[in-house]
Chains A and B, each alone.
Chain A
C-alpha cells in the first residue's frame, strides 16, 4: 500500500460542477502539497498546508491531521481545470507523491 493514496484516479465532470479530489496518507507529516500538472506537462504548486483550510480563487484545500486526510475542491469547474492533480506529503525529510487524479471537465 502506498503511503499516499488519491481518489478517484480518474474524474470526469461537466462544466460548472463542484469537484472533490481526496488524498489519504499513512505517516505523520509536516506539510501536504497539492500540485497541478497541465496536459503540456508543466507542474504548478497549488497549495501547501499543514492545518485547516486554504482558498485561492475557485480552489479550496482542506486537511484533517487527525484523520490523515486532505481534500482539494474546485468550485464552478471549467474545461481549463482539466489536468492531473497530485498530492504530496512532506514527512521526516522525504517528499512522497500520490499517483495523481486525472480530471477532465467537458464544456
Chain B
C-alpha cells in the first residue's frame, strides 16, 4: 500500500514567485492536513481538508492557500514567496474523518526561497 506521496521533494524558488506543492494521500484517506516545519517555529498547522472542504485553517497569511480534489489529492499554493517561507512542508492523511488514530505523514517538500 503506497504511503502519502509529496512532490516535489525539493524546490528552490526566488522571492516574489509562487509555488504549488502536491500531496497524494493513502488510497481511501479523505482527510488531508498540511504543516510547515521550520527550525525556529517548529511544526505549525496550515490547513485541513475533508471531502474537498476546508474544515480548519491555521494562522497563516492569505498568501497560503490550498485545495483538495475529488480524488482526495491536495495541493497547497504559496504566492509572493518570502525568505521566511523556506521550510519543510509536510502533508498528512487520515482514514478516520476525526483523525482519532493519528495521521500518516509524507516525507515532505523542502522549499528554499532565495
**Do the two chains belong together in a single complex?**
no
Listed in ascending order, the chain B residues whose CB lies under 8 Å from chain A are none
